[in-house]
Structure 1
Amino acid sequence: MLIQSAFSALRQTFSPPLRAILWKSLGLTVGLLVLVWFGLTRLIQWFQASHHISDQYPFLDSLAFFLAGFGLVVALAYVMPAVSILVAGFFLDDAAEIVERTDFPSEPVGRALPWGTALLYALRFAGLTLLVNIGALIIFFVPVVGIAAFFAANAYLLSREYFEMAAARYRPLAEAAEMRRAHSGTTLAAGCLLAGMMVVPVLNLVTPLFGIALMVHLHKRLARRLPAPAPLTRLR
């Protein structure tokens, strides 16, 4: 089920119907990462200036510059999951509807969450993911443990966020969360796939759209095993 969903999601990610959303998703992802990079570089420059590192230890200036560059790369990798969740929140409903109409034409299309609710939900999870990854970053240099903590935490958080957002198009959020817990093995395996993509440069930029398509497929296939949920009546 997961492998079939993953291949279908990969096909959809680069398909013509989703191409416009893909470019928007890439643009927003890169834009947010540039803002984070800019903020981190300003913070490093302020720290160096306030502690007079260049004046007191000139030879450390070049070393600090090198380490700062390496640190920025590492920091951006740990920020990427939170950025991915935030980006997915912006494009979920448009992308999910295209996937539903093209790959499941005989089944009803889901209903979007109210925009404000969807945004708050994405912001909440993005904030939680950022906090968790800051904690994982603190233990980055602990052999094995740092990488394992990063992977495990993001596999869980990404599986939870992406699946519940996709499922919430068909059922209340509480029921979507319950469905995820009932199929925790499958959804967590999907989260492991997304977490793995996060550590691959360039590929991690398409994770938001791929994650949406993946979880739409996964939810559809899992939902076929369940009784049909009561129709949702949401105000747009």
Structure 2
Amino acid sequence: MFKSLSLGLSDTFSKPLRAVMLRSLGLSLMLLALSGVGAFYGLEYIPPIGANWGAPFIDTVIDWLSGAIVVVVLVLLLMPVSALFAGLFLEEVAGAVEARHYPEDTAGRDQPFVQGLWIALKFTGLLILLNILALPLYFIPIVNVVTYWGLNGYLLGREYFELVALRHRTPDDARTLRRQKKASVFFAGVGAAALASIPLVNLLTPFFATAMMVHLHKRFSEGPRSQKLG
């Protein structure tokens, strides 16, 4: 697993992935910037409450708290939004990693664009929903790290491993292999979640997770003879 992690990190910054990464990062940052501007603009329409009670400081507190919540939510959205756009280029990323390290192996089969888009949308929605539900725990020291790494480690490990495995296997075979190797897949996902816990750097998480899972899947497939689609 550690070798897969190391290779995945190296691949993330490799030349073949730079163009794809820049396109995805550009789209992610643009959407986040527009969302942030829209959210802060919307805060201006919150009606004053404290002034009516003769306590204007209440409005100041509400403004600060609202702004802080917007910032926290935007930080939490960095990785899910990046995952959404990176999902559009996942096949390209996985193919580049396979070509770089396993040129003699049978190339994986790219998933149809519409199918890849639907998977990316579902996964992004799930990431956002579960992280919002876990938001109260993120304000508790130590508990926040355990929760974030555990929750997102499971989600990232499961999703990216199966997406990579689907390039070489049927859906049932991909799920079966992931369940058989669930401990390794989970801890690989925790490695991706650890990277995702660093603001801005977490924009790279989907690329790192994809590259890492390519290597992990190859190792589980016992070398160059990965199982083909039936």
TM-score (structure 2 length as normaliser): 0.88
Distance 1:181 1:230, change over 3 A: same
Residue 53 of structure 1 corresponds to which residue in structure 2? 49
Identity of aligned residues (%): 38
Q: Which position in structure 2 is the counterpart of 1:8?
A: 7
- Deviation (angstroms), 1:177: 1.6
CA distance in 1, matches of 2:228, 2:164: 16
CA deviation after TM superposition for structure 1 residue 13, in Å: 1.4
Q: Cα offset for 1:42?
A: 4.2
1:21 is displaced (CA, Å) by 0.8
Cα separation, 1, equivalents of 2:107 and 2:85: 22
The 1:106–1:7 alpha-carbon spacing in structure 2 relative to 1, beyond 3 Å, is: same
The residue aligned with 1:186 is 184
* Residue equivalent to 1:125: 123
Q: How far has the Cα of 1:144 moved from its partner?
A: 4.3
Counting matched residue pairs gives 228
CA change 1:168–1:141 in 2 (3 A) is same
How far, CA to CA, are the matches of 1:114 and 1:11 in structure 2? 28
Q: What is the deviation of 1:125? A: 1.5
Structure 1 runs (4+) greater than 6 angstroms displaced: none
- The one-letter code of the counterpart of 1:21 is V
The 3-state SS of whatever aligns with 2:227 is: coil
Give 5+ residue unaligned stretches, structure 2.
none
Q: Does structure 2 conserve the Cα–Cα contact (< 8 Å) formed by 1:166 and 1:212? A: yes
Q: Is the 8 A contact 2:90 2:210 kept in 1?
A: yes
Q: Secondary structure at the match of 2:155?
A: helix
- Taking the aligned partners of 1:87 and 1:194, their CA distance within structure 2 comes to 17
Q: Which residue of 2 aligns with 1:134?
A: 132
- Choose from 76, 81, 96 the match for 1:98: 96
For residue 198 of structure 1, report the CA deviation from its aligned partner: 1.4
Amino acid at match of 1:119: L
Aligned equivalents of 1:226 and 1:7: distance in 2?
A: 20
Q: CA deviation at 1:227?
A: 7.0
1:222 to partner: Cα distance: 1.1
Contact kept? 1:82, 1:126, Cα under 8 Å: yes
- Alignment partner of 2:10: what SS? helix
Map Cα deviations across residues 104-131 of structure 1 (whole Å, 9 max, x no partner).
1111110011111111112112111211
Q: 1:124 to 1:203 in 2, by over 3 A?
A: same
Rounded Cα–Cα distance in structure 2 between residues aligned with 1:226 and 1:175: 17
Match of 1:37 in 2: 36
Q: Compute the displacement of 1:81 (Å).
A: 3.7
Could you tell me whether the CA contact under 8 Å between 1:198 and 1:207 is conserved in 2?
yes
* AA of the residue aligned to 1:70: A
Gaps spanning 5+ residues in structure 1: where? none
Change (3 A) 1:71 1:113: same
Residues 165-189 of structure 1: per-residue CA shift (max 9 Å, x gap): 1111111222212211111111111
Amino acid at match of 1:100: E
User: 1:108 is aligned with what amino acid?
Assistant: T
Alpha carbons of structure 1 residues 177 and 38: separation in structure 2 relative to 1, 3 Å? farther
- Report SS of the residue matched to 2:134: helix
Is 2:123 the partner of 1:150?
Answer: no
SS at match of 1:211: helix
- Could you say which residue in structure 1 is the equivalent of 2:24? 25
CA–CA separation in structure 2 for the residues paired with 1:81 and 1:201: 9
Report if the CA contact (8 A) 2:24-2:82 is conserved. no
Partner of 1:221: 219
Cα distance in 1, alignment partners of residues 190 and 70 from structure 2: 24
Instruction: Say which of 155, 158, 173 aligns to 1:175.
Output: 173
